Amino acid sequence: SNLGLIFVGLEFGFWKKQGGIVALDLENGQKKWEYTMPAYTHSSPAYSEGQGVVVSGCNDFCVYGFDAKRGNLLWKFITGGEVKGSFAFDEKRGLVACGSFDKQVYVLNIKTGELVYQIETGEAIYSTPLIWEDRLFVASLDKKLYCVDLSTGKIAWEFETGGRIFASPEAIGDNIYIGSNDGRLYELDADTGKNTAFFQATERITNKITYNKKTGRIFVPTFANEIYCIKRISKQVIL
């Protein structure tokens, strides 16, 4: 971060000390601050440089907001389920978004943790949301990717895949890419949710893709520890 810190989620497994978060100095690895949580912390912390806040989820059903520099707890928001994914920030509006195992998408005020709105999906949410071009994209284990208008909090469109979605969405150009447990990487029009292309792998796609803008190549990891390198050509996605 611009503070010279790296934020790491912790898992201890002790009876009263199961998880937490620590801030380490990037230069020497020394601990700057630490906060203990009562349950496992599977969520990766996320840092808002504009607000100076680091946010972390926990299996105790809570989202925690910290002063990134000093580590003091600013707020705690209680959801109805484990928060295992990471977070997306809308710096323009001062918002942070996450999903929970209670099937809800929560959009909160970054500074206060106050609920701005929430959106219900059909199943638990494991993946990390994406905020891009005034829209929120979030995948659910109900096999769907949802697009939410950040100005209204309403669902603009939803797209159903053939399997549960653990992967997180990514934006490339004017399209959104999402992998599914059906082994397919979908290219969707960001405005309409229309499926414009796809790539079929031989195994489940459970992680977010990586894109090399210079070469135009997309790297697709699968559950079988394979990595595909593909490139968009005309109306097709090919190896």
Mean pLDDT for 26-48 is: 95
Q: Give the per-residue pLDDT at 238.
A: 44
Q: What is the 3-state secondary structure (H, E, C) of the chain?
A: CCCCEEEEEEECCCCCCCEEEEEEECCCCCEEEEEEECCCCCCCCEEECCCCEEEEECCCCEEEEEECCCCCEEEEEECCCCCCCCCEEECCCCEEEEECCCCEEEEEECCCCCEEEEEECCCCCCCCCEEECCEEEEECCCCEEEEEECCCCEEEEEEECCCCCCCCCEEECCEEEEECCCCEEEEEECCCCCEEEEEECCCCCCCCCEEECCCCEEEEECCCCCEEEEEEECCEEEC
State the pLDDT at residue 95: 97
The pTM of the full predicted model, rounded to 2 decimals, is 0.93
Give residue 12's pLDDT. Answer: 86
- Mean of pLDDT values over 187-216: 96
* Mean pLDDT of all residues in 18-40: 95
**54-105 pLDDT, tens digit each:** 999 999 999 999 999 999 999 999 999 999 999 999 999 999 999 999 999 9
